[in-house]
Amino acid sequence: MHRRLKDYEGIVGEKELQKIRNEASALSEKHLAHVNSTYYGGGVAEILSSIVILMNDLGIRTGWRLLKGSPDFFTVTKKFHDGLQGKKIHLTEQKKKVFMDINEMNHHLCHLEGHDAVMVHDPQPLPLINFYSRKQPWTWKPLPLMVGLDAFPKKQPWIWRCHIDISKPYSPLWNYLKDFITKYDAMIVSAEKFKKKLPMPQHIIPPSIDPLSIKNMEISKSKIKKYLDKFGIPDDKPLIAQISRFDSWKDPMGVIDVYCKVRKKADCNLVLLGNFATDDPEGSKVYQKVLERAKKERGIYAIAFESQILVNSVQRASDVVIQKSLKEGFGLTVSEALWKGTPVVASNVGGIPLQVINGKTGYLVNNIAQCADRVLHLLKNPEKAKEMGQAGKEHVKKNFLVTRHLLDYIRVFKKTLKESNAMRGRVSSVRKNVSSSFLQGLSNLSEIMSEISKG
């Protein structure tokens, strides 16, 4: 049975839930849609799995469309993802064609015309906006001028939600994608540092975790042990873990380097647990490299398996969780670990500093040596680790739960729809004035022609 908003009362309180209901009431007759490129394997899909259900529970008709791609398409969009995070890529006309062709095909599959507003997630479906008329506001046409604006349909606002670190994108790629981005009515990023010089309103909305999902719900110590045993993870030594999809941006090799430094001074084990997103064709290659490296070291458990209960168990069993990303839009696994009371040592990049308050909920680091030193410090000071973990859970409760995220999305949809309607209202006023003047002019002309004919 799917969750309902009322299920979160015990976590965030009735007052917060009522605030959400009050804000949502204005959208009760609206039909909204989210569009992304994968149904599992990444943070976007996890967020939408909760957000879309809760929006519908609030009486807001909300759909979720998936972009149907091909291996070539996802190879291209993975390179675009890398380029947006600053990596130099070879941007060819063929790559652009693959990008556009798949989006054009999906235009015939998604049928977004009847929605009041659309939110597109990340770069994969970005060009979809090109293939919808969106019922643009009035431009000079004599017949609509005479019949009035009411005969002319309203504009359908589109919002681009970017979940990745675009602070320093590869310029040729950014210039190409910007032509699509500027057609949107609003844009959402996860942190202030990701905002760009663009003509549309930009909103800052950090991602969130669902505290009632299988991945984040409370589980017993016996269940934790059951799943550790099932996957051959021993619990006789301190445990370090990084839970992330297998992606070079997550720097799993760097995590192994950290572990090797730590193990010289503290006997421990390392778990690298991850999966492959359906829109990332490089994940299996990264995992194979991790396996080859892990075989050369003892105490490393590299697991590629999609299991929310296993993630939950490992994050709760770990003494320290690492997130050694090279770039990171947000890094949901940081909030997941903190929610479970586990301190985090993480790279000082992207959206991670929103979650890790250095010295309070964990440590922010800039290189392998710093990371190893901070991990070692927490392993040798378990009381400090416990204190940080407790502070981390409270920080996540206040800032990064799905209920806050839901409220933010509702407010952005309301604001964007209001601005779109305001534009229509301004156009309506202009049109009525012009229409009245035009008709008065025709009347005056008729009178003049009548006088001439009499003469």
Amino acid 243 reads: I
Q: What is the reported pLDDT for 283?
A: 86
Q: Which of residues 360 and 38 earns the better pLDDT score? A: 360
Distances (CA, A) of 430 to 147, 155, 424, 438, 443: 14, 16, 10, 12, 20
* 116 and 32 Cβ atoms separated by less than 8 Å: yes
Confidence of residue 424 (pLDDT cuts 50, 70, 90): low
* Burial status of residue 137 (CB atoms within 10 A of its CB: 0-12, 13-18, 19 or more): middle
Closest by CA to 207, choosing from 161, 155, 154, is 161
Q: Tell me the helix, strand and coil percentages in the chain, rounded to 5.
A: 55, 15, 35
**124 and 77 Cβ atoms separated by less than 8 Å:** yes
Unique residue bearing structure tokens 């609030």: 58
Per-residue pLDDT band for 342 (boundaries 50, 70, 90) equals very high
Residue 143 clears pLDDT 80, i.e. is over it: no
Tokens matching residue 132: 């919808």
Q: Cα separation of 455 and 448, whole Å?
A: 11
The confidence score (pLDDT) of residue 439 equals 52
Give the per-residue pLDDT at 281: 78
CB atoms within 10 A of CB 54: 25
Checking if the pLDDT of 144 tops 50, the result is no
Average pLDDT score over the chain: 91
CA dist 207 to 160, 331, 401, Å?
A: 14, 9, 8
Q: Where are the beta strands (DSSP E) in 125-268?
A: 158-161, 186-189, 202-204, 239-243
Whole-number pLDDT of residue 146: 41
Q: What is the pLDDT of residue 421?
A: 77
Report the distance separating Cα 212 and Cα 227, nearest Å: 19
87-112 average pLDDT score = 97
Q: Write down the pLDDT at residue 41.
A: 72
Considering all CA atoms of the chain, what is the largest pairwise distance in Å, rounded to the nearest integer?
Answer: 112
Compare 150 and 167 and report the one with higher pLDDT.
167
What is the per-residue pLDDT for 155? 81
Residue 136, pLDDT > 90, answer no
What domains can be seen in the chain, in order of their start residue?
A: 5-208+403-436 (3.40.50.2000), 221-400 (3.40.50.2000)
pLDDT digits (tens, 9 = 90+) for 289-307: 999 999 999 999 999 998 9
Average pLDDT over residues 47-73: 96
pLDDT reported for residue 429: 46
Residues 103 and 37: beta-carbon distance below 8 Å: no
Residue 431 pLDDT: 47
User: Does 163 score more than 80 pLDDT?
Assistant: yes
The helix/strand/coil state of 365 is: strand
Q: Which of 297, 301, 319 is nearest to 238 (CA)?
A: 319
Length of the chain: 455
Q: Is the pLDDT of residue 154 over 90?
A: no
Confidence bin at 39 (pLDDT 50/70/90): confident
Specify whether the CB–CB gap between 186 and 159 falls below 8 A: yes
Of residues 325 and 114, more confidently modeled: 325
Can you give the pLDDT at residue 311?
Answer: 97
What integer is the mean pLDDT of 255-262? 98
Q: What average pLDDT does the segment 320-339 reach?
A: 97
| pLDDT given at position 145 | 44
382: number of CA atoms within 13 Å, CB side? 4
CA atoms within 13 Å, Cβ hemisphere of 35 = 25
pLDDT of amino acid 350:
96
Digit-coded pLDDT (tens) for 260-281: 999 999 999 999 999 877 667 7
- Percent pLDDT > 70 in the chain is 88
Kindly report the number of other CB atoms within 10 A of residue 171's CB atom. Answer: 11
At residue 452, the pLDDT reads 63
With 90 as the cut, is the pLDDT of residue 101 above it? Answer: yes
How confident is residue 430, by pLDDT bands cut at 50, 70 and 90?
Answer: very low
Residue 152 banded pLDDT, cuts 50, 70, 90: very low
pLDDT tens per residue across span 212-253: 999 999 999 999 999 999 999 999 999 999 999 999 999 999
Residue 79 to residues 125, 169, 224, 232, 435, Cα–Cα distance (Å): 14, 12, 38, 35, 51
**pLDDT the model gives residue 336:** 98
- 67-79, pLDDT tens digit by residue? 999 999 999 999 9
Residue 4: CB partners within 8 Å, gap ≥ 6?
Answer: 54, 57
DSSP string covering 70-117, please?
-HHHHHHHHHHHHHHTT------HHHHHHHHHHHHHHHHHH--TT-SE
